[in-house]
Amino acid sequence: MILSNNEDHSSVAIHAVSNIDIATMIAPSGEMMAASLIAQAMREGKKYLNEARNPLADILKAAMSK
């Protein structure tokens, strides 16, 4: 797995390792664990922002709860 940061964008390349392999490598590292939790929070936050910007979100939620 290679992580790259090129000023205007970042990229990830994964070769011959599974998600479990990556998790096993990340777990012992405090820095990587902190980064993974921050990344998860960023993704969750985006969901809420997208929901708030979408005027149909409440209508869809109500329809799906019935």
Q: Bigger pLDDT: 37 or 1?
A: 37
pLDDT at 35 over 90: yes
Tell me the pTM: 0.60
Give the distance from CA 22 to its chain's centroid: 15
Distance separating alpha carbons of residues 2 and 11, to the nearest angstrom:
8
The pLDDT tens digits of the residues spanning 12-25 come to 999 999 999 999 99
3-state secondary structure 5-16: EECCEEEEECCC
Mean pLDDT, range 49-65, rounded to an integer: 73
Distance separating alpha carbons of residues 49 and 66, to the nearest angstrom:
24
4, 11 Cβ separation under 8 angstroms: yes
Q: Bigger pLDDT: 48 or 19?
A: 19
Q: Roughly how many angstroms between the first and final C-alpha of the chain, as a whole number?
A: 44
